[in-house]
Amino acid sequence: MTFLKNYKQTLILVGSIIIGAIVGVIWGEGAKVLSPLGDLFINLMFMVIVPLIFLTISTSISKISHPKRVGKILGTTVLVFVITSVVAVLIGLVFTFPFELVSNTDGAKILAELGGEAAETEELSLLQRTVSVLTVNDFSKLLSKDNIIAIVVFSIMFGCAMRMAGEKAKPVQNVLEALTEVIMKVITIIMYYAPIGLGCYFASFIGQFGASIAVGYLKTFVIYTIACLFCFFGMYTLYAFIAGGKEGVKRFWKFVLPATFTALATCSSAASIPVNLQTSKNIGVSDDIAETLIPLGTSFHKDGSIIGSVFKAMFLVCLFGTNVYTAGGVLQILGISLIATLLVTAVPIGGGTISETMIITMLGYPLTAVPILTTIATIIDAPATVLNVVGDSASSMLAARIIDGKDWMNHKEKTASNDNTKKQKIKA
C-alpha cells in the first residue's frame, strides 16, 4: 500500500500517457482534435516557469547556512561529487551514443509542429554567445521563458545578495518564501489536470507522427535501466573497492540494501536521507563526514539524474537529427548534462522541469518540446532515484578514504575508544 501511495501520481501520469498513446495509434490523424487540451497543460506550465525558477532558486540559496564542518571535509565532498558526476555523464554517453534512441523519420515534421526551427542567430564568438546566454540587456526580458539560463543566473545572484545582506534581507526572504509556497500550490492545482493534459498531448502527438516515438520511449527506458544496473553493480562496487578494498565492497553490499529499497519505495532522495545516513555510518564512515556529505548529496549529487539528462539530450538529438557525433558534440552534451542537473538540483520542487527546459534551451530546440522530456523523466524516475541515493553512500566511502586514510573503516571505533579512555581518566 505504501508503494502505491508513493507512486500514485507517477502511475497515474504513466497510465494517462499510455492511454493517450493507444488513442493516438487507433484514431490516427483524428486525434489532433485533442491538441488544444494538451496545449492548455503546456501553457499552464509555461505560465509558472519563470516565477518558479526565480523563487525556488533564490530562496534555496538564501537559506544556505555555513555548516559546522572543517574545510577538508567540504573540499573533499565537492571533489568527490565533481569526479563521480563526470563519470555518470560518461556512462550516459557510452550507453546512448551507439544507439538511436528514437527514429528521426518525422523529426523535421515534429520540429515544425512544435514551433519550427530554432531562430537563426548571427555569427558570434564563443565569448559573445556565452554572454548572450547568461545575461540580458533589459530586466523585462527576464520575464520571458526564452531566457531561462539568464533567469537562473539572476536568481543565484539574488539569493547570494540576500545572504550577504543578512538580517536586513529577512523581510524579503520571508516574502519570497511565502510566494514560493503559493506558486507550489498553483503547480499542485495544475498537476490535477496533468493526466488529462499529457494524455491528450500524446494522443494528438502520436496520432500525427505515428507510434515510432512511443517505441523510442520504451527503448530509452530499457537502455537507461541497463545503464543504471551497470552503474549500480559495476561502478559503485568499484568505488567501494577503491575506498576500502575487499572489506569495503563487503560492507557496502551488506548495508546498502535498506537505502536502495527506501529510495525505490519512496521515489524521493530527501525521504531516504535518514536511512542513507545510517547506511554510511554502518559501513564505517565517520559521523561528521556522513552528516555533511549525505544531506549535501541529496541536493548537489545525483548520478541517476545526470545520466537521465544525457538520455534526454540524446533523445532530442536523435529525434531531430542533430549531429553531435564529434569531439565538440561530446563536450557539448557533457556540459549540458552537468549544467542542467547540477545547477538546479538544489531546487526542492520543480527542479526537473527547470532542468528539462535548460536542456532544450541549450540545444536550441523549441520549448514546446518540454513534454517530450517530461515523459522521459516520468518513466525513469524510480531507477534514477535509486542511483541518486546509493551514489551518495558510495561517495561517502570515497570521501572517508581521502580524509581518514586507508584505515577509515576503523576510524570510528578508534575515536569511540579514545573518547571512552578520556572519560575513564576524567572519572579517575
- Rounded Cα–Cα distance for residues 164 and 160 (Å): 6
pLDDT digits (tens, 9 = 90+) for 76-95: 888 998 899 999 999 999 99
DSSP 46-73: HHHHHHHHHHHHHHHHHT----SS-HHH
Q: Give the residue, 174 or 99, on which the prediction is more confident.
A: 174
* Per-range mean pLDDT, top range of 212-221, 253-262, 378-387, 393-402: 393-402
Counting every residue, how long is the chain? 428
**Which pTM was predicted?**
0.71
Residue 237 is given by DSSP the state H
The helices-and-strands tally (H runs, E runs) of the chain is: 19, 0
**Ranges 15-19, 65-69, 322-326, 328-332: which has the least confidence:** 65-69
- Rounded Cα–Cα distance for residues 297 and 73 (Å): 13
Give domain 2-421's CATH number out of 3.40.50, 1.20.58, 1.10.3860, 2.30.42.
1.10.3860
Alpha helices in 135-230 (DSSP H): 148-165, 170-209, 212-229
Does residue 347 carry a pLDDT above 50?
Answer: no
- Rounded Cα–Cα distance for residues 207 and 345 (Å): 35
- Rounded Cα–Cα distance for residues 184 and 52 (Å): 8
* Cα–Cα distance list, 326 to 97, 305, 307 (Å): 11, 24, 19
Domain boundaries, the chain: 2-421
User: Of 314, 331, 382, 268, which Cα lies nearest the Cα of 86?
Assistant: 331
